[in-house]
Copies of this chain bind each other. A is one copy, B any other.
Amino acid sequence: MVTIKDVAREAKVSVATVSRVLNDSGPVSDDTRRLISEVAHRMRYVPHSGARSLITSKTQTLGVLLPDLYGEFFSEVIRGMDNTAQRNGFHLLISRSYADKSGIETAMRAMRGRVDGVVAMSPDIDAESLLNLPSTIPVVLLCSVSRGHEVDSLTIQNCRGAREMVRHLVSLGHTRIAIIKGSAGNYDAAERLRGYRMALREAGIVPDPPLEQSGNFTEAGGYAATIDLLALRERPTAIFAANDSMAIGALSALRESGVQVPEEMAVAGFDDIPLARFMDPPLSSVHVPICELGARAVELLLHGVTHKNDHARRRERVSTELVIRRSTGAEPAERSPPRTFKRETVSV
């Protein structure tokens, strides 16, 4: 591998001068500048980023710690992160932490010296291990509970979004509204459940335990939960799934069981992944700007990196938006609810 020394020797100058033209730092005569540029290019010299970051103590790299996410949420959030990172000259070092909590710690340790900051997503409510991390390095917590931690955090307006969707279902006349919950111990899942219960309480609907089905954020989980719901003596008339993947599984189960959507059963999801509008029927959902979520997380982190983290702790919350499509059906015959939400049809 050709190093800066080789270039210096070939150009008959010192490494200092080579470094100066490469980084455009300090004065160099036009002649030597041209010469060195030419030699470096001819020798196909590429600076060794590792060595450079050792002395500058800047890696131009951000670490990303994610749980084992599936589907479009993962790709979208990474897209947002990478866009913003790349625009600011940063790279992304991605690590899917193991399920166990020690995994995230070892991952954090391994990132020492290779990243300037970390975006960590640790949705397990009881994963307090993050607290022990040497926060000498800027950290942004994403979609995670962060009580007490002195780090920036970014979350989704889960509770409010869920509450609005359930409220909408109530406004359509539904009183038996089921929920397919997210993974146990998951922060987003807990918040969405909270919004669901809040809306029911506000509507004066007494909660029915069997209507709260367990799920795990996967299509298969939504499918299974729906089968269970259909087996109930008193079926619900609406299903609110805590994310779109489960809602899609629910649609599949209902179709197989010959239950008409939305006539016999209204279905709503959460996230509004790009696929939602292409479902049959198109899926009503709570829109989450996933890409922007990733982008904003990196923005926050970059701020912490450039300002050496000497700012007041930030807690931001990205807002959601109700997107009503056909899977929740029309308003009840007797009355027209106010339409403050976005109504959308497929258009490409």
Contact = CB atoms under 8 A, between A and B. Distances in A.
Interface of A: 1, 44, 46-54, 59, 61, 68-72, 74-75, 78-79, 82-83, 86, 91-96, 98, 109-114, 134, 136, 219-220, 223-224, 248-249, 251-252, 255-256, 274-275, 277-280, 282, 346, 348
Contacts of A96: 79, 82-83, 86
Contact of A47 (B86, B113, B280): B113
- Taken together, the copies of this chain in the complex come to 2
B249 A112 contact: no
A91 B112 contact: no
22 contacts: A46-B112, A47-B113, A48-B54, A49-B111, A49-B112, A61-B93, A70-B72, A71-B275, A72-B75, A74-B74, A74-B75, A74-B78, A78-B78, A82-B94, A82-B95, A86-B95, A91-B95, A92-B94, A92-B95, A223-B346, A252-B278, A252-B280
A113 B51 contact: yes
A278 B244 CA distance: 12
Contacts of A346: 223, 252, 256
Nearest to A218: B274
Contact of A44 (B61, B134, B348): B134
A101 B134 CA distance: 40
A75 B71 contact: yes
A49 B110 contact: yes
A274 B78 contact: no
B48 A275 contact: no
A282 B112 CA distance: 47
A94 B95 contact: no
Contacts of A113: 46-52
Contacts of A75: 69-72, 74-75
Contacts of A59: 50
B46 A275 contact: no
Contact of A68 (B1, B46, B79, B92): B79
A271 B74 CA distance: 18
A51 B255 CA distance: 58
Nearest to A255: B280
Nearest to A281: B255
B220 A348 contact: yes
A66 to B, nearest CB: 9
A223 B94 contact: no
Nearest to A282: B252
Given A75-B75, A248-B278, 16 more contacts: A46-B113, A47-B112, A49-B112, A54-B54, A68-B79, A71-B71, A71-B72, A72-B72, A79-B96, A219-B274, A248-B275, A249-B278, A249-B348, A251-B278, A252-B277, A252-B278
B219 A136 contact: no
Contacts of A92: 93-95
A31 to B, nearest CB: 26
Contacts of A82: 94-96
